[in-house]
A and B are shown apart, each in its own frame.
Chain A
């Protein structure tokens, strides 16, 4: 069988070439950034811990044994034990599930709502912009922790309500960032060009404007995952969020703070866990921004 050269030419699979390059370019950009790789490593590590918590944790979450209470970090309990003799390492391992879930769900929720509001306000301008942004301004006037507290107080305790409270508190930041980026992008000539080829408003926003605003939004998402985790921990800390004995990092901090002089490890390790996760998220977010920005590519 003979294959003509033209037949080979037309059989080029365009979509595969294209996808490969896009992903690869981003990945190559990321690989060069060592800090971002550290961040990614930390995030993957914690994801791994979350998924395989059952295998990693040497003890159960609620294995109490008052005889071993306040054990300092040692071979057996590497992070020590708390006032009920529960292994802190195991509790942190299980607690990562709460933190990652709250962070991811709350950040996604607030990103979706915030981007929707910001896009509409920025793209249509005028009255739409005024009404939506004044609403956002009102939300901004209330400190986000206070807003979170009042929402949880109104809705009641529990992880779902914490997520809602944290997500609502993060919406204004998204809305403002998205709106500001859209305002600068929508005046570009390529948006007019997109209109001139007959693209709908929705298509222009989704395909031409938002991808060009991606850099600040991505940074905002990673920051807001971090912020959401912090805020959820704070709510748990003041006793409004996830309730003890659940192993939530903020709740653990709160429970251990009374013993900080006697047993420093009870508060220190959950705190370090929070700090590590947030550090990783922020490093990765910055790296991703640099890698995704086509203007920084060479």
Chain B
């Protein structure tokens, strides 16, 4: 169980638009073990989805380009795999749940057929066998198998997301990437879908990367958390480490922006300022323009992600050992 199923090293993804270069993901590294769930948290535009697409090597090209790094999945680099190998990997070993269930199903195909399609693509089996398997998947996600022949427009949002989950899990992938699976759903359905995903994850022993900007969802589902900011991971660690012992000013800021049931505060304390323009990131630490603890040193030098406790790493000069050595 100690083996990393996925390890991303130094990944950089840029979007090239005419003359400007959008640096969506910058030198990102992360590891994931079998059966683990990682929550990837960050605000809009932090590069969460781009990271997820990179894992499947699906970054739209052009304009997107993976400019550096490697993504080791099951021992080999995804970025170096051939088209055929990638096709075999997608859906079977790694699959993805998309953000909006309303648009991620083909409107002119019955839901059953869409589940059967994955089964047929990755297993040598007859149409009838695939259909039976698809029906089983439907039942598994709590939809009556009789609705095999229904079209997506006959389903509610929550049910569509269940179908999407059924598609994603139909071939029992080793890694499931869920890109904001509950953002488009209301809270009660959200809870149901999360519970379902949790159940199925343990059932299939699937590793999962959950992309979200909802720290509550992360607390409910994940084992580990990585906080992303401007294409970088600024803090990563176990659930406890992040929730009880947050170090990075951005993480602290995120928690400060959530209403607290216990403390009766008049106003929330949001993080001042906006995300930096990804075409012109600051030279030093990318959070420095918004950081309450920012020093001149932070503006000039970019910190590295350093382990401060076992399994808890922070990318900030405040906690860095290196800086003390240099000064």
Contacts and interface: CB of A to CB of B under 8 A. Distances in A.
Interface stretch (B71-79, B100-108, B220-228, B297-305): B100-108
A63 B84 CA distance: 65
Q: Tell me whether chain A's interface is mostly helix, strand or loop, or mixed.
A: helix
Contacts of A15: 127-128, 131
B121 A199 contact: yes
A164 B99 CA distance: 48
A297 B153 contact: yes
Interface stretch (B109-117, B232-240, B274-282): B109-117
A8 to B, nearest CB: 13
Interface in B118-132: 118, 121-122, 127-128, 131-132
A193 B164 contact: yes
Contacts of B149: 14, 17-18, 21-22
A21 B146 CA distance: 12
A205 to B, nearest CB: 13
Given A197-B90, A198-B121, A199-B87, A18 B113 contact: yes
B106 A208 contact: yes
Nearest to B136: A10
Given A14-B112, A15-B131, A190 B106 contact: yes
A6 interface: no
Contact of B148 (A17, A196, A200, A295): A17
Contacts of B132: 10, 14
B19 to A, nearest CB: 19
Interface string B86-102: 11111110011011100
Contact of B95 (A192, A197, A211): A197
Contact of B100 (A189, A196, A208): A189
Interface in A201-228: 203, 207-208, 211-212, 214
B285 interface: no
A14 B89 contact: no
A25 to B, nearest CB: 9
A207 B110 CA distance: 12
Given A190-B104, A294-B107, A198 B153 contact: no
Contacts of B118: 197-198
Contact of A192 (B98, B110, B128, B164): B98
Contacts of A2: none
B153 A212 contact: no
Residue among A18, A21, A203 with the highest chain B CB neighbour number at 10 A: A18
Interface string B37-73: 0000000000000000000101000000000000000
Given A14-B148, A189-B100, A199 B117 contact: yes
Contacts of A195: 58, 90
Nearest to A190: B106
B218 interface: no
B65 to A, nearest CB: 15
Interface string A254-298: 000000000000000000000000000000000000000011010
Contact of A212 (B58, B86, B87, B108): B108
A194 B120 CA distance: 13
A188 interface: yes
Pick the most buried of A18, A188, A193, A294: most chain B CB atoms within 10 A of its CB.
Answer: A193
B91 A197 contact: yes
B151 interface: yes
Contact of A196 (B88, B96, B153): B96
Contacts of A199: 87, 91, 117, 121
A198 B104 contact: no
A189 B164 CA distance: 12
B135 interface: yes
A211 B108 contact: yes
Contact of A294 (B103, B145, B153, B167): B153
Interface in A106-161: none
A196 B99 CA distance: 13
Contacts of B106: 190, 194, 207-208, 211-212
A193 B148 contact: no
Contact of A295 (B90, B99, B107): B107
Interface of B: 56, 58, 86-92, 95-96, 98-100, 103-110, 112-113, 117-118, 121-122, 127-128, 131-132, 135, 145, 148-149, 151, 153, 164, 167
Interface of A: 10, 12-15, 17-18, 21-22, 188-190, 192-200, 203, 207-208, 211-212, 214, 294-295, 297
Given A207-B109, A211-B106, 10 more contacts: A14-B128, A190-B103, A193-B164, A193-B167, A197-B117, A198-B118, A208-B109, A212-B107, A212-B108, A294-B107
5 contacts: A10-B132, A18-B113, A197-B90, A200-B87, A207-B109
Nearest first, the 8 closest Cβ-Cβ pairs linking A and B are A197-B91, A198-B90, A198-B91, A14-B131, A189-B103, A18-B149, A196-B96, A198-B87
